[in-house]
Structure 1
Amino acid sequence: MFNNYIEINFMFKNILFLGCGNMGRAILQKILENNIFQDNQITVVKPSSNNLIANVNYQNSLNLLHGSYQADLVFICVKPQDSEQVLNELFASKITNPNTIFISIMAGKNLKFFQKIFSKKVKIIRCMPNILVKENNGIIPYFTSKNVSAIEQDFFEKIFNNFASCLALDDEKLFHAYTALFGSGPAYVFLIASLLIEIAIELKVEKNIAVKLVKKLLFGSTQLLNNSDDISQLLAMITSAKGTTASALEALNKNNNLQKLLRKAIMSAVKTSKKLA
């Protein structure tokens, strides 16, 4: 592993983060925690004021970078709606070159979007990490432009493998589904947790106890899920005929209401991802 990091540092000396919101900061923090790059290699332009990390070079504008600065690796972490103007500024700044590798975490923006701004020869890796990188359990589907070499793709996975599972996609169009399911997925789980806590409080469970037990419930359920390949078997294990669980599941599954609602929500996320393209 140590040799891998020597190789990565040799290949990428200057690392630029363009934008640094919640996801950008989570990735940057994990990169530093795992000593993949050192803080003196990293420059962040246009950071969110509440996402600063000590000892990292922050600049509010690309114009403030040293005249000889050349970025070897650029993480594009700006909001999709702001990206066209910011990336045109990056292109005009001349701080990238044909060998610079771009890693985009922006939802919706496909390779053609970047090729239109830079060139058809731009080396771009488009990925969609989720917030679980903060707990070393992230999911990162990715897709590369044709001129990203196998070695460069391997370096990408070496950067992220310490805190996420990387999955190379065969078709860029799959990003809409992966974004809706796994990029947004943690929010669905958090919403369910919030609703369970709210209902527990309505049923006279003290709030601090409700919060503690719902967290324990989700954590323990996840452990069981990780150790099983058959979800139906897990359901059967805790569902007795005419029991409380059976009654609750019957209400949830009546007329496929839960399935319809969840599908509607995910398809809405897919639709939004396509609009951002």
Structure 2
Amino acid sequence: MSTPRIAFVGAGNMAASLIGGLRAQGVDAALLRASDPGAEQRARISAEHGIEVFADNADAVSGADVVVLSIKPQVMKTVCQALAPSLRDGQLIVSIAAGITCASLENWLGNDRPIVRCMPNTPALLREGASGLYANANVSAVQREQAEQLLSAVGLALWLDEEHLIDAVTAVSGSGPAYFFLLVEAMIAAGEKLGLPHETAARLTQQTALGAARMVIGSDVDAAELRRRVTSPAGTTEAAIKTFQAGGFEALVEQALGAAARRSAELAEQLGQ
């Protein structure tokens, strides 16, 4: 598959991460372009990645095979309605904006457009992201590969069969980094209360989080089995795990992710009006 010409509408952090990931994979800078209303941001993207930049979205999408909508959800309707006359039939639209459904994009851009809706997360900035992707019925097999190549440049990219599952992806991986940050915060604070200096508690917690993540990813057994292997009967880990469970840890996680998924659906309804 030949590399498509890709235009980014919006050149913020996530777009910059995707562009950097593609360039690191060897994609020619001549195949990438971006538009942004901020002159400073355009200059930064151009200098860092050697791509052509534009102030006008219409100029950026001209001649592109793939148009990546990497703008804030709150301005998506206005930008799409202004951009629609500049799009040609068959251009793949990839949206990485949270809460904007394919139906809303079709309404603003015109019907029968091939659209892939994505939910990436912030570790994509380090090319360690996790994204869920959903394609509407107009997306060809080649265009699915193009969208997957794009999101795979910054981490894991997994396809969804039903669009509503984007809300679940938002709850699990989209918002997920914040859950781990919260646990890290709590562990550092608890370590300090047990007498550790802040810097020591922080470094131990951070390295433990990194090591545990690598073990989960690299292991041939699931997380439950890994937990059992480090939980000796009547030992220190068991004492901590039982305390978590007595406080309703699993139920609380389920409730929290459920709340995130419901809010994702609510935002999609609000932003699509």
Scaled to the shorter chain, the TM-score interval is 0.7 to 0.9
Q: 1:145 aligns with which of 136, 141, 149?
A: 136
Aligned to 1:171: 162
Aligned to 1:62: 57
TM-superposed CA distance for 1:60, in Å, is 4.2
Cα distance change, pair 180–274 in 1 and its aligned pair in 2 (3 A): same
Aligned to 1:120: 111
Aligned to 1:275: 266
Aligned to 2:223: 231
TM-superposed CA distance for 1:270, in Å, is 0.7
CA contact (8 A) 1:42 1:56 kept: yes
Give the root-mean-square deviation of aligned CA atoms: 2.5
**1:117-266 → structure 2 map (5 Å cutoff):** 117-226=108-217, 227-254=219-246, 257-266=248-257
Name the amino acid aligned to 2:164. K
Give a deviation string over 1:202-235, Cα, whole Å, max 9, x none: 3232222222211211122122222142333222
Cα distance change, pair 35–47 in 1 and its aligned pair in 2 (3 A): farther
Aligned to 1:84: 77
What TM-score do you get using the length of structure 2 for normalisation?
A: 0.86
3-state SS in 2 of match to 1:247 = helix
Give the gaps of 5 or more residues in structure 1: none
Distance in 1, matches of 2:99 and 2:250, equals 25
TM-superposed CA distance for 1:21, in Å, is 3.0
Give the gaps of 5 or more residues in structure 2: 269-273
Cα distance change, pair 62–237 in 1 and its aligned pair in 2 (3 A): closer
Cα distance change, pair 229–50 in 1 and its aligned pair in 2 (3 A): farther
What TM-score do you get using the length of structure 1 for normalisation?
A: 0.84
TM-superposed CA distance for 1:162, in Å, is 4.1
Distance in 2, matches of 1:20 and 1:75, equals 10
Q: Return 209-218 or 49-58, whichever deviates more.
A: 49-58
Name the amino acid aligned to 1:154. E
Distance in 2, matches of 1:263 and 1:105, equals 25
Cα distance change, pair 122–153 in 1 and its aligned pair in 2 (3 A): same
Q: 1:95 aligns with which of 86, 111, 122?
A: 86
Cα distance change, pair 37–173 in 1 and its aligned pair in 2 (3 A): farther
3-state SS in 2 of match to 1:46 = coil
**1:36-55 → structure 2 map (5 Å cutoff):** 36-38=27-29, 41-46=32-37, 52-53=44-45, 54=47, 55=50
CA contact (8 A) 1:44 1:56 kept: no
Distance in 2, matches of 1:89 and 1:188, equals 37
**Percent of aligned pairs sharing the same letter:** 25
TM-superposed CA distance for 1:77, in Å, is 1.2
Cα distance change, pair 169–48 in 1 and its aligned pair in 2 (3 A): farther
TM-superposed CA distance for 1:201, in Å, is 2.3
Q: Return 43-52 or 173-182, whichever deviates more.
A: 43-52
Distance in 1, matches of 2:222 and 2:28, equals 40
Cα distance change, pair 191–60 in 1 and its aligned pair in 2 (3 A): farther
Cα distance change, pair 102–80 in 1 and its aligned pair in 2 (3 A): same
Distance in 2, matches of 1:41 and 1:21, equals 15
CA contact (8 A) 1:76 1:104 kept: yes
Distance in 2, matches of 1:31 and 1:134, equals 13
TM-superposed CA distance for 1:133, in Å, is 2.6
